Homo-oligomer: A and B are copies of this chain.
Amino acid sequence: MFDKLKEECGVFGIWGAPEAANLTYLGLHALQHRGQEGAGIVSNDGVSLHMHKDLGLVGDIFGAKVLERLPGEAAIGHVRYSTAGGGGIKNAQPFAVQTSTCPLAIAHNGNLVNADSKRRLLEEQGAIFFSSSDTEVVLHLVARRPEAVLHERISAALREVDGAYSLLFMSDEQLIGVRDPHGFRPLILGKLKNAFVLASETCALDLIEAEYIREIEPGEMVVISKEGLQSLRPFEQVAAARCIFEHVYFARPDSVLFGQSVYATRTRLGAQLATEHPVEADLVIPVPDSGVPAAIGYAAASGIPFGMGLVRSHYVGRTFIEPSQSIRHFGVKLKLNALGNELKGKRVVVIDDSIVRGTTSRKIVKMLRNAGAKEVHLRISSPPTAWPCYYGIDTPTRQELIASSHSTDEITKYVTADSLGYLSTGGLHDAVGSRGEGYCDACFTGNYRVQFPKDEEKRSLRVLEA
């Protein structure tokens, strides 16, 4: 409903805990913001893998009865947001298959840039594909490797693919976590008593009261079994390219990401924004909920009072009936309402984290003006989003990204704001504390770290779910 980029997935795995499936369920619940289309859990009772997955939210898919049918002390889970063409239960993860040596499950956050060509090669060798997911390609590659040991088969297979992956594998004997050499997507390690936990974000640890140990490093593989945890470095080392947009918007503010508090980073983004784009005004308000930390930072740095000028409703379900007569800004109104009494006659700074197409920003500016705001100054706590992501984020095409073809002045006019200020790329890196290194900022700069096949026609699956 909102004009936001969409995270494509979250993963969670645990090894060595009674009620592993229950804990995975809680972990996925904490990661629900990373994907709301579907979810799945595969548990491991030491002999077989047990799988349940469906479309919907974690809390709706897993009831007590289903969780009882997921026995064992190890489990992996996945929440999924999917792009338009690739939806359906067929693509829901984890995938769990039988290979010659063991049953094997996989859960993937990221995106492989050479999956289509690999897939074509595999098909030519007689592989059959049940899904349209790039993750199925990894399973085929692993199953075909001759190495004797599972983690070596996985390492060898992953050396054949390029792109972004934070992956969990689980056989009957091991839980394996691995992060691509650039480390685009997050993956962290925790402990709950004697159990090891792997998760996309630390907020999943907090809910189950597991202890945060450390980030899985870019290019690192951890192999967890009854022998304990072994850390491996199966790939050539390259410069890290952690997704900076996780800090800007994706991650939950209560997570510690790439070693930094997300909330604190976002308040710094707001403070930096106040320095770069000051304005005389009476009130700083966030676009809730994601704009709140940056707005607090902006307010504190600028000395302008912080307040709530927009209230958000959290009851919006998935399908909502539109009235046929035109209610202005309808989609946005279902979620946001402006506080007339707060805004009337005021010069307002409204803080949002990003602008994708600009449609929602335009509606918000108009809503604020209708509510009586005298001036509306839009401030964005990241640079203009002008380039698509190929590493696991669902972005519109370049044409749809308003900042790819319009100047800030033009965007200001389009959203009808009195002024508009984006954070600079330098300011972003400063606030994140990266000094320009270790992060991927391709969506702002077009500086892609892993090449992707630009011209290659996307191979569409010809088996569709009805």
Contacts and interface: CB of A to CB of B under 8 A. Distances in A.
Interface of A: 18-19, 22-23, 25-26, 29-30, 32-33, 41, 43, 47-52, 57-60, 62-64, 66-67, 69-70, 95-100, 102-105, 120, 123-130, 132, 139-140, 143-145, 172, 203, 206-209, 252-254, 256, 261, 263-264, 267, 289, 292-293, 296, 299-300, 305-308, 311, 313-321, 323-325, 327-328, 333-334, 337-342, 461-466
A18 B325 contact: yes
A114 to B, nearest CB: 17
Chain A interface helix/strand/loop/mixed: mixed
A466 B50 contact: yes
Contact of A462 (B30, B47, B125): B47
B30 A324 contact: no
Nearest to A96: B463
The 5 closest A-B pairs by CB, nearest first: A126-B144, A59-B317, A261-B341, A100-B123, A69-B466
User: Within the oligomer, what is the number of copies of this chain?
Assistant: 4
A313 B32 contact: yes
A87 B29 CA distance: 29
A67 B319 CA distance: 14
Given A63-B319, A208-B327, A317-B59, A128 B292 contact: no
Contacts of A19: 323-325
Contacts of A139: 128
B323 A23 contact: yes
B130 A97 contact: yes
A103 B63 CA distance: 36
A321 B62 CA distance: 8
* Most-contacted residue by chain B among A43, A63, A64, A314 (CB, 10 A): A314
A15 B84 CA distance: 30
Nearest to A256: B341
B51 A463 contact: yes
B464 A51 contact: yes
B464 A29 contact: no
Interface centre among A30, A140, A333, A463 (most CB of B within 10 A): A463
Contacts of A60: 317
Contacts of A70: 466
Contact of A140 (B49, B123, B128, B144): B128
Given A22-B323, A321-B63, A462 B98 contact: yes
B315 A306 contact: no
Contacts of A319: 59, 63
A45 to B, nearest CB: 10
A59 to B, nearest CB: 3
B337 A203 contact: yes
Given A51-B465, A300-B305, 8 more contacts: A26-B323, A98-B128, A98-B461, A103-B462, A130-B130, A253-B311, A254-B311, A264-B341
